[in-house]
Amino acid sequence: MIAHVGDRLVLKGVHVGDLRRIGVITAVHHSDGTPPYQVRWPDGHVALIFPGPEAHVEPATHPQE
């Protein structure tokens, strides 16, 4: 997984009833774009994320669904 600042991290729910979460990547800690990523969620919370298999990155230029 490769990301850049400004890309969106999308986490799909893994259990029935889980919602999809979309956050904005605000920092990439490795020069090659690999995790971990600092992500700002819509509620303003910022977290350091090591994405799992339920996650994918959408480029900043990708239209939102």
What the block records as the tokens of 23 is: 């956050």
Among the listed residues 41, 44, 47, 54, the one whose alpha carbon sits nearest the alpha carbon of residue 8: 41
pTM, entire model: 0.85
pLDDT digits (tens, 9 = 90+) for 11-50: 998 888 888 899 999 999 999 999 999 999 999 999 999 9
pLDDT grade for 64, boundaries at 50, 70 and 90: low
pLDDT recorded at residue 4: 96
Q: Which residues contact 34 (CB under 8 A, 6 or more apart)?
A: 1, 2
Q: Which residues contact 38 (CB under 8 A, 6 or more apart)?
A: 25, 26, 27, 28, 29, 46, 47, 48, 49
